[in-house]
């Protein structure tokens, strides 16, 4: 039996208010048919309320108050509690069904990074992730445009869409906290040489500088740890028409990959549709899609202008001294040239690796 204390309802299971109605009728020695007549309702309607097949509306609650003397708010409260408990039970079933999706999400890593709470219970994890994404169901994550990116399927076929969505969402959260002026394409183009010059500095030196330069152009720069199954180096998307986001992962250590990826993402921001999200990995040079090739070309041109690179390659001298002299001539670190020559096939991928710079990233 449901215990009624003033207007508070206490129930652990979904008990239809019709059960209480039946008790009241028994106490008053009144049949369902008589109640129906007194209320001016069909007997079938009263029977459906008793069975829990029909809801008690506000109008019905008022009629029950007039006929039975039980306040209308009691009937509406019972109905509300009944419907809420049923919804909670259904939600619990849905949560259990979503537990299988946890295999696609690196929850422990996210918890270690402080993105979500440290929780062992799987169903509670599902609810925590729903809160993290701001969705009523994890199945709704990819109905959000930002988290349904233009994945390059041929090159990120091992990536987990949910892991990528988690990474992107955390980036969106951080980007939302970064103050930035409305996007200014002309200004962004004008600061590209300034950003390029920062390649001579360490991450500790250039990170805050890049964030300041880009925020003054309407771009929020976010540097995040990578998550298992993302395989991403960087990503771009738009929080609004006036604010773009450029994300970089700290998965890789080779500095040349970082800078190519960074300018590749800038290429997406400057060249491509604001409605799209781009996620890029190590294989971006092999990707044949038009947009990726355009971003590759942009990155290559910004770091090593094609005319200069072609002149250097035509000489056929890829010695250390020649590479360093060329790097000094175009004002770029020599390890960026080594990385480019490796990708172009003029050097083997392990050739001159001892001269390439590796970054050490903080997980903060």
Q: Is residue 9 part of a domain?
A: yes
- DSSP 3-state of 158: coil
The rounded distance, in Å, linking the Cα atoms of 261 and 343 is 13
The secondary structure of the chain in percent helix, strand, coil, rounded to multiples of 5, reads 55, 10, 35
- On the 0-12 / 13-18 / 19+ scale of CB atoms within 10 A, 130 is middle
Asked if residue 152 and residue 43 are part of one domain, the reply reads: no
pTM of the model: 0.81
Q: Is residue 262 part of a domain?
A: yes
pLDDT, position 349? 85
The rounded distance, in Å, linking the Cα atoms of 313 and 329 is 14
pLDDT, position 153? 38
Asked if residue 222 and residue 175 are part of one domain, the reply reads: yes
103 alpha carbon, distance to own chain's centre: 17
Asked if residue 197 and residue 171 are part of one domain, the reply reads: yes
Which range marks the domain in which residue 319 is found? Answer: 144-355
Length reported for the chain: 364
Q: What is the pLDDT of residues 270-309, one digit of tens each?
A: 999 998 899 887 654 455 689 999 999 999 999 999 999 9
Q: What is the pLDDT of residues 201-259, one digit of tens each?
A: 999 999 999 999 999 999 999 999 888 888 888 999 999 999 999 999 877 689 999 99
Give the list of residues 6+ apart from residue 354 with CB closer than 8 angstroms, or none: none
Domain total in the chain: 3
pLDDT, position 360? 81
pLDDT, position 1? 40
Q: What is the pLDDT of residues 58-85, one digit of tens each?
A: 999 999 999 999 999 999 999 999 999 9
Q: Is residue 363 part of a domain?
A: no
Asked if residue 168 and residue 58 are part of one domain, the reply reads: no
Domain final residue, candidates 142, 168, 199: 142
Q: Is residue 63 part of a domain?
A: yes
pLDDT, position 15? 86
Residue 364: is its pLDDT beyond 70? no
β-strand pairing of 278-280 with 243-249: unpaired
Q: What is the pLDDT of residues 94-128, one digit of tens each?
A: 999 999 999 999 999 999 999 999 999 999 999 99
Residue 220: name the closest of 242, 199, 201 by CA: 242
pLDDT, mean over the chain: 89
- pLDDT confidence bin for 362, thresholds 50/70/90: low
Q: Is residue 64 part of a domain?
A: yes
Domain final residue, candidates 142, 171, 202: 142
Asked if residue 194 and residue 115 are part of one domain, the reply reads: no
Asked if residue 293 and residue 157 are part of one domain, the reply reads: yes
* Helices and strands (H, E) in the chain, number of each type: 16, 6
Asked if residue 26 and residue 60 are part of one domain, the reply reads: yes
Q: Is residue 234 within 8 Å of residue 262, measured between CB atoms?
A: yes
pLDDT, position 281? 74
Q: What is the pLDDT of residues 254-276, one digit of tens each?
A: 999 999 999 999 999 999 999 88
Q: Is residue 242 part of a domain?
A: yes
Rg (C-alpha) for the chain, rounded Å, is: 31
pLDDT, position 159? 80
Q: Is residue 301 part of a domain?
A: yes
Kind and range of the H or E element at 293? helix 290-303
Asked if residue 166 and residue 48 are part of one domain, the reply reads: no
User: Taking residues 320-327, what's their average pLDDT?
Assistant: 96
pLDDT, position 304? 97
Percent of the chain exceeding pLDDT 70 equals 91
Q: What is the pLDDT of residues 20-39, one digit of tens each?
A: 999 999 999 999 999 999 99
Domain final residue, candidates 125, 142, 159: 142
pLDDT, position 6? 42
Asked if residue 220 and residue 177 are part of one domain, the reply reads: yes
Q: What is the CATH number of the domain that holds 14?
A: 1.10.260.40
pLDDT, position 232? 87
The rounded distance, in Å, linking the Cα atoms of 305 and 324 is 16
Asked if residue 311 and residue 197 are part of one domain, the reply reads: yes
Could you tell me the sign of the dihedral formed by the alpha carbons of 87, 92, 96, 101, in that order?
positive
Asked if residue 125 and residue 56 are part of one domain, the reply reads: no
Asked if residue 220 and residue 346 are part of one domain, the reply reads: yes
pLDDT, position 12? 60
Q: Is residue 227 part of a domain?
A: yes
The rounded distance, in Å, linking the Cα atoms of 116 and 107 is 8
Residue 283: other Cβ atoms inside 10 A: 14
The rounded distance, in Å, linking the Cα atoms of 195 and 354 is 25
């Amino acid at each position: 039996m449901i215990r009624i204390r003033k207007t508070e309802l206490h129930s652990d299971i979904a008990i239809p208010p019709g059960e209480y109605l039946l008790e009241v009728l028994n106490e008053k020695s009144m049949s369902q048919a008589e109640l129906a007549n007194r209320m001016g309702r069909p007997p079938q309607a009263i029977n459906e309320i008793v069975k829990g097949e029909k809801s008690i509306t506000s109008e019905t609650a008022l009629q029950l108050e007039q006929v039975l003397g039980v306040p209308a708010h009691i009937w509406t409260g019972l109905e509300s509690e009944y419907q809420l408990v049923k919804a909670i039970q259904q939600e619990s079933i849905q949560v259990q069904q979503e537990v299988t999706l946890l295999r696609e999400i690196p929850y422990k890593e996210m918890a270690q990074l402080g993105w979500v709470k440290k929780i062992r219970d799987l169903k509670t994890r599902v609810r925590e992730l729903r809160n993290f994404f701001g969705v009523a169901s994890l199945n709704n994550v990819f109905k959000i445009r930002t988290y349904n990116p233009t994945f390059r399927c041929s090159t990120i076929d091992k990536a987990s869409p949910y892991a990528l969505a988690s990474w992107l969402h955390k980036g969106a959260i951080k980007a939302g906290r970064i103050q930035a002026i409305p996007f200014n394409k002309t200004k962004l183009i004008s600061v590209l040489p300034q950003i390029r010059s920062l390649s001579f500095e360490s991450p500790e030196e250039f990170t805050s500088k890049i964030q300041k330069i880009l925020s003054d152009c309407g771009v929020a720069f976010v540097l995040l740890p990578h998550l298992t199954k993302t395989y991403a180096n960087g990503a771009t998307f738009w929080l609004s028409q006036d604010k773009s986001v450029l994300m970089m992962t700290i998965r890789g250590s080779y500095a040349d990959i970082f800078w190519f990826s960074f300018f590749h993402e800038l290429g997406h921001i400057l060249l491509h549709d604001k409605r799209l999200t781009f996620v890029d990995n190590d294989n971006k040079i092999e990707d044949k899609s038009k947009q990726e090739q355009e971003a590759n070309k942009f990155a290559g041109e910004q770091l090593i202008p094609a005319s200069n690179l072609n002149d250097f390659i035509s000489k056929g001298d890829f010695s250390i001294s020649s590479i360093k002299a060329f790097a000094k001539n175009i004002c770029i670190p020599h390890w960026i040239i080594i990385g480019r020559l490796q990708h172009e096939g003029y050097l083997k991928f392990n050739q001159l690796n001892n001269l390439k710079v590796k970054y050490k990233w903080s997980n903060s």
